[in-house]
Structure 1
Amino acid sequence: MKKTMIELFAGVGGFRIGLEANGFETVWANQWEPSTKMQHAYEVYTANFGEENASNVDINEVNKEKIPDHTLLVGGFPCQDYSVARTKAQGIQGKKGVLWWNISEILKEKRPKFVLLENVDRLIKSPSDQRGRDFGIMLRSFLDYGYSIEWRVINAAEYGFAQRRRRVFMFAAHESTTYYKSIQEKNHNDILFRDGFFADQFKIDSDYESKKKVVNISISPNMYADLVEVSDNFKSKFHNTGFMINGKVTSIDTKPVEHEIYPLRKILEKSVNENLYIDKNEKKLDRFKYMKGSKREKRVDKNGYEYYYSEGGMSFPDPLDRPARTILTSESSVNRSTHVVEDPETKRLRLLSPVECERLNGFPDDWTNPKNCNITITERKRYFFMGNALVVSLVKKMGITLNNIIDNEEYEENFTILSKDDETSDEKVG
């Protein structure tokens, strides 16, 4: 089985870096930023990987039939409203422009053997007025196209990396695969703690008491006739770990096996540009102190109503002996979420550099500032890219498991062929 993949919503190529390190070949990739003339992420992507097999058009306009066949589909897509409705012709239609439906269309058209997706962890709880509906729609879509799916909310820092970045990863396997068939007969403990996709590289505590709080539900056609019924009626709590096969869904709350902490200190550069230091700008420094400090202030809303706004304090500067907080797209601007550190060399307060943010996500240094790029990439854009990116180091670990799964697929295929040859030989001899 060929280790071919397509990368959707590619950004600056986090999935591709992690999986090509494990021998995968990218046969097609799509990156399109709507409502902007300059396609900065695409320019960085192609400067690093080349333009071959790279697409820079709106994914909604792509003819899914013309996408190359592939073994693995990957992508980090936005968390949106996935609700669906019945059309006048009694068909089913999702909200226009919602990017999940492009993934769904590709699954329907191309049926890749495996799928690996990433999203913010609030996906499994949205929307607020019908908890779990959007994730339920996704699960049912996978079921309708013949897939099992496993998910895990993973905080990179809990597995020995330098950033407290929590995301939900989803792995789906088509019913035609050996992997699907192998887990079909297993119980939920075996899948989640020993034999499932995440079990080996992202170990969880088998003694954690919450594993007893299992949520079992059905999303099969026996419960919901189609996606419209799921959209209208489905509501359920999903825990941070779970799987779905044959329409039966199991989820539990899990706790990672403890790893050694990787502190922020280890990714810091030894020397940075002077423009990152904030200690000589009293106005900026005072603003940071205020925004990161605790407060209880009387405020007035637009209707003239007075109320008290309360907010807890944050460490200032950020501790260097712990993993960093989550990088946001606003990193480096003057706001509460931006990191401020005391430089170990100069003992002065400064912001993180773009290279340090790349390191926090496991990207090579200066990945977002390639020398052969066709356009100028500002520092502000580089921070923005990393705020949107995934942790490449996690994907590399997943690539190890994918290799094992695909190697086993090839072994089973070859074993079947050899067995058939033996049967034919026996017939001739007889």
Structure 2
Amino acid sequence: MPENSNETSDDVRVVELFAGVGGFRIGLERASKRFKTIWNNQWEPSTKRQDASLIYSRQFGIEGHSNEDINTVPTSCIPEHDLLVGGFPCQDYSVATTLKNSGGIEGKKGVLWWQIYRIISEMVNRPKYLFFENVDRLLKSPASQRGRDFGIILASLADLDYTVEWRVINAAEYGMPQRRRRTYITGYLNTTKLAHNISSDLKTILSDGIFAQSFPAQVKEGCHVSEFAINGNLAEISANFKHEFHNAGVIKGRDVTTVSVVPIYDGPALTLGELILPDSEVPKEFFIDDETLPKWKYLKGAKKETRVTADGYEYKYSEGAMAFPDSLDKPSRTIITGEGGQGPSRFKHVIKTDSGRYRRLTPMELERLNMFPDNHTKGASDLRRAFLMGNALVTGIVEKVGLVLISNID
């Protein structure tokens, strides 16, 4: 039965962790009105002004919003839900030891993956579905033991009775306006119809799985399917893991199937030029003056030069050229957290407008590249708005997954 008068038995109750400014919520609610976010948490450590939390509350209301360190939030304070979502930070997921009084694991202090694990494991009724996002390097981390971190995450979810799929998706390869490559993870409690219909094999990756239906793909030429079991407890996996994960895969029980895939897509494609504002709507501080332009060109250009460290050590430095200005007839490069501010930078976007003037991207344009509503982050400074978009996801990815998920769930 629904817990309050605003819910119906057809609703999919969503809890959003590490919510940022609500990218998961926007994508899911665009996909279906059945997705109802009933509780969310956003906390930025070491920051007095909680811009993301303030924006989230303003856009969606304060009901069910938590602006507390998730490490301090008891699981009993989180309402029962059907779908748990979140873009958890990429950190070192190593397991230090096994402890009977902590469910068998002790992760590195402060690593937020273990808060997800804690919440799922302590829920009286675990969420039926999971949907997470992380950076693409998660599959190969750490460099000293490639794949270990992701192996720990998959094994821990399998031990909590979930069948799990993953896919590394570049939004631009499916017609979206930004080249943003991220790892997406979905999980289904093994008591659900969805989990029952999915097996640990190539068919799930290419046709039957949620990602196969959302983002069609085929096996990359020359790539072979890898199948293996993740054995041992989490501490043993942390110490001994030696497998490689490709950009798509599935785990059921502890059995893994993984392969490299490439997109199948021939639909419309948004470009940076389609999303920019006319010069008349752009504040003057976003335009680059003639005095500063040479510094931008230097930072964007190729370099092969001798440099000297503060202690007098001389070394050779070289780097390739960046596009300058950024192409308007292609999707944009990946937005970074340092996108804001007037100072010249190698990595900030710079476009050349029809008037022949060079300028940076405005906060609204950055929102559009992540497929957020215009002025979603209004109220924060331009610098912080850029930072928030650098941390956000492309909501179109979530929407497409949400459309398929809603048609497959119990």
TM-score of the two chains, using structure 2 as the length reference: 0.92
Match of 2:173 among 158, 176, 185: 158
- The separation in 1 between residues aligned to 2:340 and 2:114, in whole angstroms, is 34
Q: Does 1:397 align with 2:377?
A: no
Match of 1:14 among 23, 35, 47: 23
Which residue pairs with 1:336 in the alignment? 346
Which residue pairs with 2:362 in the alignment? 353
Structure 2 gap segments, 5+ residues each: 1-9
Structure 1 gap segments, 5+ residues each: 370-375, 410-430
Which residue pairs with 1:68 in the alignment? 79
Per the TM alignment, residue 303 of structure 1 is displaced from its structure 2 partner at its CA by 5.7
DSSP-derived class of the 2:304 partner: strand
Alignment of 1:99-138 (within 5 A): 99-110=112-123, 111-138=126-153
Q: Does 1:246 align with 2:261?
A: no
Task: Point out the structure with max Rg over C-alpha.
Answer: 1
Deviations 1:272-315 (A, max 9, x none): 1111110x241x21111011000001123456443211100111
Which residue pairs with 1:413 in the alignment? none
- The separation in 1 between residues aligned to 2:312 and 2:383, in whole angstroms, is 37
- The separation in 1 between residues aligned to 2:349 and 2:339, in whole angstroms, is 7
Match of 1:277 among 287, 290, 293: 287
Q: Does 1:363 align with 2:376?
A: no
Flag the 1:88–1:170 CA change in 2: closer, same or farther, 3 A.
closer
Which residue pairs with 2:91 in the alignment? 80
- The separation in 1 between residues aligned to 2:206 and 2:398, in whole angstroms, is 19
DSSP-derived class of the 1:199 partner: helix
Which residue pairs with 2:36 in the alignment? 25
Q: Is the 8 A contact 1:332 1:339 kept in 2?
A: no
Deviations 1:87-143 (A, max 9, x none): 677853111111000100111122110000000001110001010111010011001
Flag the 1:340–1:188 CA change in 2: closer, same or farther, 3 A.
same
Tell me how many residue pairs correspond in the alignment. Answer: 390
- The separation in 2 between residues aligned to 1:162 and 1:382, in whole angstroms, is 18
DSSP-derived class of the 1:309 partner: strand
Q: Is the 8 A contact 2:99 2:106 kept in 1?
A: no
Deviations 1:37-68 (A, max 9, x none): 11111000000000000000000000012210
Which residue pairs with 2:155 in the alignment? 140
DSSP-derived class of the 2:68 partner: coil
Alignment of 1:259-338 (within 5 A): 259=266, 260-270=268-278, 271-278=281-288, 280-282=289-291, 284-301=292-309, 304-333=312-341, 334-338=344-348
DSSP-derived class of the 2:71 partner: helix
Q: Is the 8 A contact 2:148 2:238 kept in 1?
A: yes
Deviations 1:337-382 (A, max 9, x none): 10000113x221111111000000000000001xxxxxx5111011
- The separation in 2 between residues aligned to 1:72 and 1:215, in whole angstroms, is 29
Percentage of pairs with the same residue: 49
Per the TM alignment, residue 69 of structure 1 is displaced from its structure 2 partner at its CA by 0.6
The one-letter amino acid paired with 2:58 is A
